[in-house]
Structure 1
Amino acid sequence: MRPVKSFAFAAVLLLSSALSAAAQSAREDIEAALPKFTDAFNSGNAAAVGQLYTEDAALLPPDGKRVDGRKGVEEFWQGAIKGGMKNLTLKALEVEESANLAYEVGAFTLDAPSKDGALSTLVGKYIVV
């Protein structure tokens, strides 16, 4: 699985931006989780990235096999990090919530090595449920 294609940002991922049962809105929870995710990823800490996901998480990378569970998701991100991906930025564009379900539609940028080894910037979108 080529890291750039499989990363092209896990088109759908189930993240435990752990929507609290407290009074905080889903948008507040998600916006609080984004810097945690990017800081962990950009510092090369796949274990910390994995901890942001629920135990029953599912990650659906484009052109790749579904990745299930927190450990599998951690291994996916570790592969992306080891593959030279860095400088991730995330931005929540839309957040909707209803009862105990929320989703986030966002945009990302990421530097990834191309076939010749030079870094190129990937730009894309993602969804988190």
Structure 2
Amino acid sequence: MDAFNSGNAAAVGKMYTDDAALLPPDGKRIDGRKGVEEFWQGAIKAGMKNLTLKALEVDGSGNLAYEVGAFTLGVPSKSGDPSTVAGKYIVIWKKGDDGTWRLHRDIWNLGAAR
């Protein structure tokens, strides 16, 4: 979240596995860390900011875990005034050989989380 909010798409990309997949709403699947980084760079350039995440459920076993949560995100409106959208997400975390947990799958959409 800090990496995104500071506009650092490269740091956001490093939070994902090499074979990560993003499944954005109303969009096509984006595969690989490079594609993920490019997606988030586009979002940052489009004026998206002030991302907040709230994990509502987390569980896992072995080298995989999942997280279900809610988010808010600042987005530019057509009038140019700031606007905030809210939504929900599910991510799958994968523990790498180096012991680091990284995002492996990431899907989200708009609307109330509960």
Q: Would the TM-score normalized by the shorter structure come out above 0.5?
A: yes
Between the aligned residues of both structures, percent identity stands at 82
- CA deviations 1:67-90 (Å, max 9, x no partner) are 000000000000000000111111
Amino acid in the other structure paired with 2:51: L
Q: Identify, as 1 or 2, the structure richer in strand.
A: 2
Secondary structure at the residue paired with 1:111? strand
Q: How far apart are 1:109 and its partner, in Å? A: 0.7
Matches within 5 A, 1:23-102: 38-102=1-65
Question: Counterpart in 2 of 1:27?
Answer: none
Q: What is the aligned partner in structure 2 of residue 105 from structure 1? A: 68
- Measure, in 1, the Cα distance between the counterparts of 2:63 and 2:17: 14
- In structure 1, stretches of 5+ residues that fail to align are 1-37
TM-aligned CA deviation for residue 51 of structure 1: 0.2
Q: Choose between structure 1 and 2 for higher RCO, CA contacts under 8 A separated by at least 6 residues.
A: 1
Letter in 1 for 2:48: M
Q: TM-score, normalised by structure 2?
A: 0.78
Letter in 2 for 1:104: E
Structure 1 residue runs of 4+, over 6 Å off? none
Give the gaps of 5 or more residues in structure 2.
Answer: 93-114
Comparing both structures, which one devotes a greater share of its residues to helix?
Answer: 1
RMSD over aligned Cα, in angstroms? 0.8
Equivalenced residues, count: 92
Cα deviation for residue 57 of structure 1 reads: 0.1
Question: Residue 38 of structure 2 aligns to which amino acid in structure 1?
Answer: E
* TM-score of the aligned structures, taking structure 1 as reference length: 0.69
